[in-house]
Structure 1
Amino acid sequence: MRLLAAAFAAAAVLGSGPAQAQSGRSGGFDFYVLSLSWSPTYCATKGSRADPAQCGTQQPRGFVVHGLWPQYERGFPSDCAVTGRSPTRAQIDGVLDLMPSPGLVRHEWRRHGTCTGLDPSSYFRQIRTAAERVRVPDAFAAGDARIETSPAAVEEAFVAANPSLRPSMIAVQCQGRLLNEVRICMTKDLRFRPCAEVDRRACRSGAVVMPASGGDGR
């Protein structure tokens, strides 16, 4: 996967999981959602509150990794109690090419990683493996041009670029008229799989805008 870099402040994440959070036992979940965020939407909507690690650079960014979320068939576990160490600085630095905000990395570990049954190092490896299994369509690779499209067209492009991906396994999300995320469902061993609840919560807009890096979203 070639487009990975994301950053959000620890308390400013581009959206929640696909359904209501529930308390849960670490490791006792059904599948994963890999969330890929359209970075220019985050930067455009957050404005001066955007994380400069993501938005304050000259490098254009398109789709970037938001997180890898354990899910139930209905709802998802959150902020599970675990024993052991929090991620070390070296472990955080090791995923900054995927999620280059230390605040986001810590947030994703606390909220989602703690519910996987994995230690931080294994969780971050799982994120990398999941991201490498998704090919982002070439049309959305750069993030340096404004795109007017539809959720259906974005979904179709991802399905075409990933031969084993089906429409029932992916959900495009929007924030108002702006596309903000693509969520792809995966088994625990990171194969694409259907996810009815995630799919039901997809954006129903007929048209969306994907702003360019450095744009204002209009």
Structure 2
Amino acid sequence: MPIAQSIAAPVGLQGYVMQVQMTPAVCSLDTSKKKQRKCLEGYSLTITGLIPETTQQHCNTTTSPNLSPLQDKVVARVMPDENARNRLWYGIGGCTGLTASQYFRDIINKADKLKIPTDLTGVENKFVQLNTLKSQFLKLNPNMHRESIRFICQNSGKTTLLTGIQICYKTNGLYKQCSSQVLSNCPNHFYIKGSY
């Protein structure tokens, strides 16, 4: 297949959702993950994917997710688990319209541009209000729409922890309003787990 065909924009692509994981919370809630690099090395945030929003039914690809050693090192800063990156690519690569190298470069570019409130990367556990955290994101990222961000929480005993953030993008990389399929399940108040 010619290269031009392999990177043409796929039919039905409506945008992307970047999934950002609150690593300390996830590592404390799921004991099976405690030996993963992101938990052992104390990452505060990791990206688990840039998921295409598409009308296509099947997004699998057989193209290689292998990156150059330099790009692999750069991507590992935000996505430390190579096996998870490979599974992600094989599962969604067919709907991105990109090569693996372009796709992971796009993740790095979006991660570098996204400004994160300090409450999310501190060492202290914090009790926060959803609207306050959303306002911090909007202040730090002036082009972000109020409906471009969704928060994911999980209960841990009597405590509700923030476990993830989803950011919605148009195909051109600008922020967009999240679709109705991208849900937020956090209450008005929740905890942010600090670093280990």
Q: Shared fold by TM > 0.5? A: yes
Q: TM-score, normalised by structure 1?
A: 0.74
Matches within 5 A, 1:65-144: 65-72=47-54, 80-88=59-67, 90=69, 92-142=72-122, 144=123
Contact 2:61 2:89 in 1 (8 A): no
- Answer with 1 or 2: which has the greater Rg: 2
Q: TM-score, normalised by structure 2?
A: 0.81
Give the number of the structure whose residues are more often strand, by fraction: 2
**Aligned partner of 2:195: which letter?**
S
Q: C-alpha distance in 1, partners of 2:79/2:194?
A: 19
Q: CA deviation at 1:43?
A: 0.7
Q: CA deviation at 1:114?
A: 3.2
**Aligned partner of 2:174: which letter?**
R
Residue among 208, 211, 217 paired with 2:190: 208
Matches within 5 A, 1:141-156: 141-142=121-122, 144-156=123-135
Q: CA deviation at 1:167?
A: 1.4
1:190 and 2:169 matched: no
SS at match of 1:197: coil
Q: C-alpha distance in 1, partners of 2:100/2:138?
A: 31
Q: C-alpha distance in 2, partners of 1:78/1:210?
A: 35
1:178/1:77 CA distance change after superposition, 3 Å: farther
1:131/1:198 CA distance change after superposition, 3 Å: farther
Q: C-alpha distance in 2, partners of 1:178/1:148?
A: 9
Could you say which residue in structure 2 is the equivalent of 1:15? none
Q: CA deviation at 1:127?
A: 0.6
1:140/1:94 CA distance change after superposition, 3 Å: closer
Structure 1: 5+ residue stretches without partners: 1-24
Q: CA deviation at 1:37?
A: 1.2
**Aligned partner of 2:124: which letter?**
A
Contact 1:80 1:114 in 2 (8 A): yes
Number of residues of Structure 1 aligned to a counterpart in Structure 2: 183
Contact 2:15 2:52 in 1 (8 A): yes
Structure 2: 5+ residue stretches without partners: 1-8
**Aligned partner of 1:193: which letter?**
K
Select between 44-53 and 188-197 the one with higher mean Cα deviation: 44-53
The percent identity for this pair of structures is: 22
**Aligned partner of 2:83: which letter?**
G
Q: CA deviation at 1:204?
A: 4.1
Contact 2:121 2:195 in 1 (8 A): no
